[in-house]
Amino acid sequence: MSIPAETRAQVLMQALPYIQKYHGKIIVIKYGGNAMLSEELKQAVMGDLTLLAQIGVRVVLVHGGGPEITDLMQKTGKEPVFADGLRVTDKETVELVQMALAGKVNKDLVNRISLCGGRAIGLCGIDGRMILAKARDERLGFVGEITDVNPQPILDMLAAGYIPVVSTVGCGEDGSVYNINADTAAEHIAGALGAQSLIMMTDTPGILREQGKPNTLITELTVSRAVQLIREGVISGGMIPKTHCCINAIRRGVERVFIIDGRTAHAILIEVLTDEGIGTMFR
């Protein structure tokens, strides 16, 4: 349990080349899934961010918060409405989304980073008119599609020494508020920032050659190979849109995109500061 001093020194020294490599670079972390539900994992992720920021990485956290939205909707007795089988986000719902994301999840994450000794500022896409959006489909109401990302507020926060924590709520030209898919928002934000890396935290070990067999993990993937794997059906179901986000991020100029397992404690640190890659890396 107590780690000997030599081991500690060894671990720190082995991190040096990675610290040098990422110094001053922007890493966008899409935070979600189980890593967001367990108290312990949440604490580990916030610690990882704080450490990375402290050693000179420019860290940006992008989060959704499905469970918190559902929770607030249930509390307010708001019934889900469907149109042609799709969930409708009416004005009242998008207000609850805004409250749950920008009011609850966002500030809770900022609070936790502070407790780790980090300095964070919580933003949403409305702040500084950062995420501009329009309705994706009139029938779905305030489900938004990103029309533009203005990275200036994030860059300003980074320049002032804060970790920006971003809720994926967008705003329209007319002031309407939209609920934005967090994976898509992370992809756009990483692209607009010219980020060096985008790390997508998921509830899977990464992309597997065979479903359910973690030992068939594909550790590295080019865009063209990823497209092929979707076509071949190796990547399927919920991994398809996630893979599309990864591909798009690469196309928007992000150097490396990682799908990592958010269920592993300190997965981010392990991915960034050690030679043990976990998950799948897109180039």
Residues numbered 35-74 forming contacts with a second copy, rule: CB under 8 A: 44, 47-48, 50-51, 54-56, 72
24 forms part of the interface with a second copy (CB under 8 A): no
91 forms part of the interface with a second copy (CB under 8 A): no
Please give the size of the binding site for a second copy, defined by CB under 8 A. 73
Catalytic pick among 122, 127, 170, 183: 183
Is the Cβ of residue 44 or residue 140 nearer to a second copy in the bound state? Answer: 44
110 forms part of the interface with a second copy (CB under 8 A): yes
97, 203 contact by CB (below 8 A):
no
100 forms part of the interface with a second copy (CB under 8 A): yes
Task: Please classify residue 95 by burial: count the beta carbons closer than 10 Å to its beta carbon, then call 0-12 exposed, 13-18 middle and 19+ buried.
Answer: middle
Q: How far is the CB of 207 from a second copy (least distance, A)?
A: 20
Whether 242 is a known active-site residue: answer yes
Whether 33 is a known active-site residue: answer yes
Is the Cβ of residue 162 or residue 245 nearer to a second copy in the bound state? Answer: 162
Is the Cβ of residue 13 or residue 237 nearer to a second copy in the bound state? Answer: 13
Closest CA to 146 of 185, 91, 102, 200: 185
Q: Which residues contact 233 (CB under 8 A, 6 or more apart)?
A: none
Q: Given candidates 35, 101, 133, 207, which one binds a second copy under the rule CB under 8 A?
A: 101
Per-residue CA distances from 181 to 112, 118, 143 (Å): 24, 27, 8
Sign, CA torsion 274/275/279/281: positive
Whether 75 is a known active-site residue: answer no
DSSP per-residue letters across 154-196: HHHHHHTT-EEEEE-EEE-TTS-EEE--HHHHHHHHHHHHT-S
Catalytic pick among 48, 122, 206, 242: 242
- Binding residues among 262-281 for a second copy as defined by CB under 8 A: 265-266, 269-270, 273-274, 276, 278
Tokens encoding 174: 């007319």
Q: Which residues are marked as active site? A: 30, 33, 66, 183, 242
